[in-house]
Amino acid sequence: MTFDGKRIDGKAQHLITADGIAYVPENRRLFPRLSVRDNLRLGSYMYRGEADRDAPLALVFKLFPRLSERLEQRAETLSGGEQQMLAIGRALMTRPRLLMLDEPSQGIMPKLVDEIFAAVKRIRDEGMTVLIVEQRMAECLDIADRAYILQTGRVLMQGTAADIKAIRMCGRRIWGCDDCGVAARADVILRCEPSSASLEGWMRQRCLRPILRGAQERVRTSG
CA 48 to centroid of chain Cα atoms: 29
pLDDT of residue 138: 82
Confidence (pLDDT) at 188:
41
Q: What is the pLDDT of residue 129?
A: 92
Question: What is the reported pLDDT for 169?
Answer: 62
Its pTM stands at 0.74
Q: If you classify domain 2-194 with CATH, what class do you get?
A: alpha beta
Q: Please, where are the H alpha helices in the chain?
A: 13-18, 36-43, 57-63, 65-68, 80-92, 110-125, 137-143, 161-173, 196-203, 209-222
**Cβ of 169: how many Cβ atoms within 10 Å?**
11
Separation CA 186–CA 221 (nearest Å): 35
- CA 146 to chain CA mean position, Å: 11
Q: Which residues of the chain fall short of a pLDDT of 50?
A: 173-200, 202, 208, 210-212, 214-216, 218-219
